[in-house]
Amino acid sequence: MALRPVHVNIKALDAPAVGRFWAEALGWSAYSPGATTYVGPSGGLRWPDPVLVGIDVVPVPDAKTPVKNRIHLDLATDSLDHQAELVDRLKQLGAKPVDIGQGDDVPWVVLADPEGNEFCVLEPREIYRDTGPIASIVVDCADPYAMARFWGEAMDWTPLELTDAQATLRSAQGTGPYLEFLRKPTPKTVPDRVHLDLLPGADQEAEVTRLRALGATGLDIGQGDVPWTCLTDPDGHEFCVLAPHGS
Nearby residues of 78 by Cβ (< 8 Å), 6 or more positions away: 124, 129
Instruction: List for the chain the helix, strand, coil content (%; round to 5).
Output: 20, 30, 50
pLDDT at 194: 98
Residue ranges of the chain with pLDDT lower than 70? 1, 223-224, 246-247
pLDDT at 220: 77
What is the tens place of the pLDDT at every residue in 135-166? 999 999 999 999 999 999 999 899 999 999 99
- Domains parsed from the chain with CATH numbers: 4-241 (3.10.180.10)
pLDDT at 50: 85
pLDDT at 101: 86
